[in-house]
Each structure stands twice: as structure tokens, then as C-alpha cells.
Amino acid sequence: MNTSSDKKFEQPSIVQAILAGFNTISTKPELILFPIVLDLFLWFGPAWRVDRIFAPFIKALTNLPGIESGEVITIIENYQAGLRETLSSFNLAAALRTLPIGIPSLMVSKPSFVNPLGHPLTFSLDSSLQFVALWLLFLLAGYFLGSLYFQNISKQVIGFTEGSFKSLLKSFAQIVLMPILLLIILIILAIPLTIVITLVSMIGPNISQFVLTLALLFGFWALIPLVFTPHGIFLYKQNLMAAMITSIKVVRISMNKTIWFIVLSFLMVEGLNYLWRSPTVDNWFLVIGILGHAFIVSAVIAASFHYFIDATQYSQSVINQHLQSTQV
């Protein structure tokens, strides 16, 4: 007689997970309000300019020691022009779109300070203190709202409608720690890679570019096993380290299916984003893009929760089967 501990599960189905994700959002369409409200705020709400703060730093680039040749000066000037153009359309409120966990946004990639009604209320920051304080405020708000967004989707996926504010704060704390820990991991990985690339560049620049490409691929490959860390935090209420270990175990056993799920999800979201982004910021048709983007990206996130549950059950059955075989 089989017990729940030795019950065998099939490998997770990508198609079934995606269909389940769309059904989840169709059943609870109010979940897409999070990205919709964020995009409307970034489009019509107040904006904060930062180009005045960074102008002295950009100008000082031409005064760096060792810049004498005409080619280097031309490169620096082109770099300065690119920075000025980027900062001239950058809204600090875009920091509300936090990574790796946060509310998805279509408008964060669109030019700021223009909408169909004209120009939004704009504030120009004058000091570094203002910039840092406001940036931290937006960042924490983005992580909190992102935690609320992911928690609501996860509850809908498992059919659990209740949830305490204490549980939300616990998940929020783990999500804030997540980018800090990932940054530490990247720094640890980057130190030896930088030394290797520096030594290789002394041999030949072409070889160093090849090594850099391999290093970036290695870094991406090293982070893939952590892709379901937020899912363990929101579904199973795990702390950050436990969620990372769970994600690594699940991805290790279902690596091939997981990679295909990530690729298909990325192609679905980014492919449709080309359509959603096509209207200009002064065109009301961009509202359709905002609605479409909110629905698709929320459905894909819900699908990732469905896929993670199936993959967790499958990986646990594989582990149980392995333990039983070793005991025989």
C-alpha cells in the first residue's frame, strides 16, 4: 500500500503550468491591478528628475588623468552624451520596479515626463541626500508592494484566501535580503573572474572578450538554480536560505524542463512586450499595452507558481524513490 511519502508524481508539464497560470488570473482578474496602477503612476503621476545631480560627475569625466589622445576624448564625449540622454528621461520613481522581485512594469522602459495630457508634475532633485533618501524610499516601497503582489498570486494558486500581515512582513524581510545576498554572491564570483580576465587580456584582447562571454554565461548558469527562491518564500513561508536550498534541489532534478519553462516564459513576455510598447507615450493606445502586459506577465508569474508546485512534488518523489532503493 502506497503512502503519501512514496507516491510518485509525473514530471512537471510546462503547457499545463502555463494554462493553469492563465486560468488563475482569469479567475481573479483584480490581481493585474498591481502592474496597471504602477504603470499609470509612472505615466501620469509625479516624476523626479536626477540629471541635475549627476551633471557635474558627467562633466568631470573629461578631466580624468591620462586622457590625452583624440580617440579617447571622442569615446568619452560619446559616453557623456549617452549618459545625458539617458538621465534626461529618467524618472527616479522607476525604482518602484524592484528586482529580482517586484511589480512588473511596462512604463519603466518608456521615456518619462510625457503623456497624452501633456507633462506630469515634475520635481528636480538638487542634492545627493535627496536622491539617496528618495531612492531608498521607492526601493522599500517597491519591495513591499512586490511582496504583496506575489503573495496574493501565490494564495490564489493554492486556493488559500487568508493571510496575516505578520506573514507578509516576514516574506517582505526575506525579499529585501535576497538582492543583498545575490549581490554578495556575484561579488565573490566576480573577484576571481576579474583576475583571470585581466591576466588573459595581457595575452590578447580577443581572448579576453571570449573569456568574458564565458564568464557571463557561467554567472547566468550559476543563478538558474535560485530562480524559484521567491516561490519557496511565498508558498512554503520559508526563510531565504531554506528557500534557496529548496529551489536548488528542485531545479537540479528538473533542470531540462525548468530551462525550457524559463525560455518559453521569457519569449512570451518579451515577445509580446514589443507589441505592448509600440504606441508612443503621448498616445492613448498605450493603455491597451499596459492592460495586455499586466495580464500576460501576471499569468506567467502564476504559471511559475504552478510549475514550482509540480516540480517540488516530482523532485520529492524522486528523492523518496532514491532513499527506498538505497534501503533495499
The reported pLDDT for the residue numbered 2 is 39
Phi, psi of 162 (to 5 degrees): -100, 155
Which of these three, 89, 114, 146, is where a domain ends?
89
Q: Is residue 134 part of a domain?
A: yes
The per-residue pLDDT for 204 is 63
pLDDT over 90 at 140, yes or no: yes
For 64-91, the pLDDT digits (tens) are 666 666 666 777 778 888 888 888 889 9
Is residue 328 scored above 60 in pLDDT?
Answer: no
DSSP per position, 281-313? TT-TTHHHHHHHHHHHHHHHHHHHHHHHHHHHH
Please check whether residue 213 lies inside any domain of the structure. Answer: no
Is the pLDDT at 106 greater than 70? The verdict is yes
Q: Is a pLDDT exceeding 80 seen at residue 209?
A: no
Residue 33 lies in a domain: yes
Residues 156 and 67 grouped into a single domain:
no
Domain boundary among 89, 113, 147: 89
Determine, yes or no, domain membership for 203: no
pLDDT digits (tens, 9 = 90+) for 144-173: 999 999 999 999 999 876 667 888 999 999
- Cell numbers placing 163: 493571510
The pTM for the full model equals 0.88
In a domain? residue 178: no
Q: How does residue 244 score in pLDDT terms, banded at 50, 70 and 90?
A: very high
Of the residues 63, 89, 115, which one is the last residue of a structural domain?
Answer: 89
Q: Any residues with CB less than 8 A from the CB of 90 and at least 6 apart, and which?
A: 49, 50, 51, 112
Q: Which residue has the higher pLDDT, 151 or 126?
A: 151
Residue 268 grid coordinates: 512570451
How many domains does the chain divide into?
2
118 and 85 within one domain: no
Domain region containing 63: 51-89
Does the residue 278 lie in any domain?
yes
Examine the domain organization and report whether 233 and 273 are in the same domain: yes
Indicate whether 78 and 145 sit together in one domain: no
